Amino acid sequence: MIERKTLILISVFIGMLMSAIDTTIVILALPTLTDQLNAPFLDTIWVILIYLIVLAALTTQLGRLGDIFGRGRIFNLGFLVFIIGSAASGASPNVSFLIASRGVQGFGAVLLQGNSNAIIADHFEPMERGNAFGYTSMGWSIGGSLGIVLGGVITTFIGWRYIFYINVPVGLIGFIFAFIYIKDNKRKETRIDYVGTLFLVSILSLVSYGAVEIAGSGATTLNLALIIIGILLLVPFLVMERYVKDPVIALKAFKNRVLSFSLIAATLQAIGYLSVLFILIMYLQGIRGFDPLDAALLLIPGYILSALFAPRMGRLSDKIGPRTVSAGGIFLMAAGVLVYYLMGINTSIYLVILGSIITGVGGSMFWPSNNAAVMSGAPRELYGSISGLLRTLSNIGTLFSYVIAISVAALAVNRDVAFAIFLGKVKLVGGVSVSFLGGVHAAFLVSFIILIFAGLSALVREKKSSPDQNSPAVNMENNSQ
C-alpha cells in the first residue's frame, strides 16, 4: 500500500508540474495567438507576463495564508482556481479576456506554489526533505520542458486553446489527491497585515510593470519613475514591518544566515539561468534558422537529466548537507553557460546539447538542496510565509530574466526585430546576424556573472544546521527559558 507521504508528494508534484508548464507553454504559441486573436504582439506578450507578475507579486502573501487558514485548504483552493483560469483561458474570445483569465490562472498557481515547500516541510522530517524536494524539483524541471514542447506540438497539431484545456483533467487529479491526503497544519492565531500586503503588492507590481515596459518599449520617463517609486516604497515598508505584530515578512527570520543566503542564491539563480534559456532560443531561431519547435527540442536533454537526477541529488543533500551540493550545482550551471558562450554562426549544434546537459545536471543539484536549506532555516510557524517568499523571489527572477534577455538583445538589433526573433518569425543573415551574435554573447556573459554570484551566495552560508536548534524562533524560545 502506498504511504500517505508518497501520495502527498504526488499531489505537490502535480501542482508544481502544472504551474511550471504554464510559465513556458505559451511561448511557442505566441505567433498563433497574435494571428488568430487579431492582436498586436505587444498585447499578446502580456499573456505570458501577467502570469509572471501575479506570481511575483502575490506568492509571499498567499503563502502566508496557509499559516493562518491551513495549508491543505489553501492548496486545494489553488487547484480549483487554476482549473477555472485554465478553462477560461482556453475559451477566450479575445486577447483582453485571455490576459484576464491568465491572471486568474496565475492566482491559482500562487496558491499552489506558495504552500508547496511548506507542505513538504510539514510532512517530512528534516533528513527526508532533500529527497522530497528532489521530486518537487523534478516536477518543476519536467514542467518547464513539457511547457516548451507541448506549446509547440499542441498549437501546431490541435490548436492553441488546448494548451490551456490540458490543465483541466491534470488539475482535477491533483485536486483529488490533495483533498484526500493533505491535511491542514495547526493554524496560527494571527491577523493579516493588510497594510503591509498592500505595500508589498504595490512595490512588486510597480517595479515589475516598469521593468517589463522597458523591455517592451524602451526606457521612458514613466517606466523609470514607476521603478523608482516602487524601490522608494521599500523604506517605509521595511520600517513598518519591524513594528507590526504579525508582519507579511518576518524580518527576524533573516537573522538565520543559511536562510538569508539561500534566498539570495535562489533569486540570482532564477535571473541568471532563465535569461540563458530565452537568449538561447533567440540564437537558435534567429541565427541558426531553427523552427521554434526544433529549437525547443534541442533543450530537452538537459531538462530530462535534471528531472532524473533531482531526487538523487536531494538524497545526497540530506547526507552531506545542502551547501556543497547547491553551490556545486550553480557553478556547474555557470560552466554550461560558458559552453553556450563558445557558440558562433557555424559552430556545431552539439555544443547546445552539451551545454543543456551540463546546466541540467547543475539544476538537479541546486533546486532540491537549496529548497531544503531555506526550509531548514525557517521557524516552523513561518513555513508558509518563507515558502511563499522563496517562490516570490524565484518568480521575480523569472520575470527579470525575460527583461534582461529582451533588453540585451535589443542593444544589438532593433527592438521589433528582437521580438520577431523571439517569436521565430525572423532569421538573420549577413552583418545583422554577426551583430546579433555579439548581443547574444553579451547576454550569456551577464548570465554567467549572475550565476557566479549565486554560487558564492550558496557557498558562504554556514553548513547545514538543524531547524529545531538554529531557527530564530527556537533561539528566542531558548533565551526565554
- Write down the H helix ranges in 4-94: 4-24, 30-36, 41-44, 46-69, 71-90
On whether residue 138 sits in a domain, the answer given is: yes
On whether residue 428 sits in a domain, the answer given is: yes
Where residue 299 sits, what CATH number does that domain have?
A: 1.20.1250.20
Do 244 and 193 contact (CB within 8 A), yes or no?
yes
Q: How confident is the model at residue 187 (pLDDT cuts 50, 70, 90)?
A: low
Neighbours of 3 (CB within 10 A): 8
Q: How confident is the model at residue 87 (pLDDT cuts 50, 70, 90)?
A: very high
DSSP state for residue 336 in the 8-state scheme? H
Which residue, 293, 18, 279, is CA-closest to 153? Answer: 293
Q: Do 204 and 182 share a domain, yes or no?
A: no
Residue with cell 531561431: 285
On whether residue 300 sits in a domain, the answer given is: yes
430-452 pLDDT, tens digit per residue, is 667 887 888 888 888 988 999 99
Identify the pLDDT of residue 58. Answer: 79
**The pTM is what?**
0.78
Which residue, 193, 201, 182, 177, is CA-closest to 110? Answer: 201
Q: How confident is the model at residue 478 (pLDDT cuts 50, 70, 90)?
A: very low
On whether residue 481 sits in a domain, the answer given is: no
Which of 5-19, 22-36, 462-476 shows the highest mean pLDDT? 5-19
Identify the pLDDT of residue 465. Answer: 44
Which residue, 402, 156, 179, 380, is CA-closest to 273? Answer: 402
Identify the pLDDT of residue 443. Answer: 84
Q: Do 170 and 221 share a domain, yes or no?
A: no
Do 184 and 71 contact (CB within 8 A), yes or no?
yes
Higher pLDDT, 274 or 169: 169
Domain boundary among 208, 229, 245: 245
Tally of CA atoms within 13 A in the half-sphere of 214 that contains its CB: 24
Please count the structural domains in the chain. 2
Alpha carbons 192 and 201: distance in angstroms, whole number: 14
Neighbours of 164 (CB within 10 A): 25
Q: How confident is the model at residue 202 (pLDDT cuts 50, 70, 90)?
A: confident
Tell me: pLDDT of 169 over 80.
yes
C-alpha cell at 362: 547543475
pLDDT, the chain, mean: 81
DSSP state for residue 325 in the 8-state scheme? H
On whether residue 459 sits in a domain, the answer given is: yes
Q: Do 129 and 241 share a domain, yes or no?
A: no
100-153 pLDDT, tens digit per residue, is 999 999 999 989 887 887 888 888 887 787 778 777 766 765 676 678 778 878
Average pLDDT on 58-85 reads 84
Tell me: pLDDT of 211 over 70.
yes
Give residue 209's domain range: 193-245
Neighbours of 178 (CB within 10 A): 25
Identify the pLDDT of residue 2. Answer: 66
Q: Do 231 and 171 share a domain, yes or no?
A: no
Map residue 188 onto helix, strand or coil.
coil
- Write down the H helix ranges in 233-299: 234-241, 257-286, 292-297
Which residue, 242, 212, 246, 248, is CA-closest to 227? Answer: 212
Q: What is the dihedral of CA 156, 160, 165, 167, to 10 degrees?
A: 70
Alpha carbons 124 and 259: distance in angstroms, whole number: 19
Q: How confident is the model at residue 333 (pLDDT cuts 50, 70, 90)?
A: very high
Alpha carbons 301 and 303: distance in angstroms, whole number: 6
Do 202 and 233 contact (CB within 8 A), yes or no?
yes
On whether residue 199 sits in a domain, the answer given is: yes
Which residues in 85-115 are b (16+ Cβ under 10 Å) and which e?
Answer: bbbbbbebeebeebbebbbbbbbbbbbbbbb
Identify the pLDDT of residue 368. Answer: 83
Higher pLDDT, 47 or 246: 47
Identify the pLDDT of residue 451. Answer: 94
Alpha carbons 318 and 354: distance in angstroms, whole number: 28
Q: In whole angstroms, what separates CA 92 from the centre of its chain?
A: 25
Tell me: pLDDT of 337 over 50.
yes
Identify the pLDDT of residue 185. Answer: 64
Identify the pLDDT of residue 225. Answer: 94
Average pLDDT on 155-172 reads 90
Higher pLDDT, 424 or 417: 417
Q: Do 71 and 201 share a domain, yes or no?
A: no
Identify the pLDDT of residue 178. Answer: 87
The amino acid present at 435, given as its one-letter code, is S
Identify the pLDDT of residue 430. Answer: 65
Q: Do 206 and 176 share a domain, yes or no?
A: no
Alpha carbons 298 and 363: distance in angstroms, whole number: 17
Which residue, 10, 83, 35, 136, is CA-closest to 43? Answer: 35
Q: Do 186 and 200 share a domain, yes or no?
A: no
Identify the pLDDT of residue 481. Answer: 29
Q: Do 129 and 148 share a domain, yes or no?
A: yes
Q: Do 313 and 270 share a domain, yes or no?
A: yes
Identify the pLDDT of residue 475. Answer: 38
Alpha carbons 259 and 470: distance in angstroms, whole number: 11
DSSP per residue over 365-411, as a string?
Answer: HHHHHHHHHHHHTS-GGGHHHHHHHHHHHHHHHHHHHHHHHHHHHHH
On whether residue 479 sits in a domain, the answer given is: no
| Residues contacting residue 350 through CB under 8 Å, at least 6 positions apart | none
Q: Do 85 and 209 share a domain, yes or no?
A: no
Average pLDDT on 156-168 reads 90
Q: Do 221 and 253 share a domain, yes or no?
A: no
On whether residue 31 sits in a domain, the answer given is: yes
Identify the pLDDT of residue 470. Answer: 40
Q: Do 42 and 156 share a domain, yes or no?
A: yes
Average pLDDT on 442-466 reads 82
